[in-house]
Amino acid sequence: MNDIAGTKGVAEEMKEIRVERIMEMIPHRYPMLLVDRVIDVVPNESATGVKNVSINEPFFVGHFPRRPVMPGVMIVEAMAQTAAVLVVATLGAEAESKLVYFMSVDKARFRRPVTPGDTLHIHVTKEQSRGPVWKFSAVAKVDGAAVAEATYTAMIMDD
């Protein structure tokens, strides 16, 4: 049984992947690691990333000083990182020495600002895969309300 979450559990559904394990799964580090944990992972299907948005995020220094708003591209990146964790959780040992490269982002829409103190819940669903190419849809929510959405195409490549 693959123990992606770092705890014993059912392989088909993982309850939580903490940041320490996320850093083993994807190469991102501060200040570009934008997922604090991933919950409700169903390999080959879906996952939910969680990002606690703090006033200490480096992008708030200039975006915008008097009214801090999380840049939309950072929300898009958090969605992509959540999808990458889903890929690694799905592939298990096969993901060793692989990287998830995003090829396209489509239909990106931003519904409302994300500000310090918000908790971003990023729901990612695998729509299809063919060989090394995977497609995802994602919706980011704060307090249950959609703040952003997009679709992604990624390629799984050797590191």
In a domain, 9, yes or no: no
Sequence-separated (6 or more) residues with CB below 8 Å from residue 112: 142, 145, 147
What's the domain range around 84?
A: 14-158
pLDDT at 71: 99
Q: For residue 102, is the peptide bond before it cis, meaning its omega torsion is within 30 degrees of 0?
A: no
More confident residue, 13 or 5: 13
Strands 119-130 and 98-110: unpaired
pLDDT at 3: 45
In a domain, 1, yes or no: no
For residue 58, pLDDT over 90 is answered with yes
Mean predicted confidence (pLDDT) in 109-117 = 99
Residue 63 is among the residues annotated as catalytic for this protein: yes
| Catalytic residue from among 28, 63, 121, 123 | 63
In a domain, 86, yes or no: yes
pLDDT at 14: 81
Write down the mean pLDDT value for the chain. 93
In a domain, 4, yes or no: no
Percent of the chain exceeding pLDDT 70 equals: 92
In a domain, 28, yes or no: yes
In contact, 125 and 138? CB cutoff 8 Å: yes
In a domain, 82, yes or no: yes
Burial (CB < 10 A; 0-12, 13-18, 19+), residue 90, is: buried
Going by pLDDT thresholds of 50, 70 and 90, the confidence category of residue 12 is: low
pLDDT at 142: 99
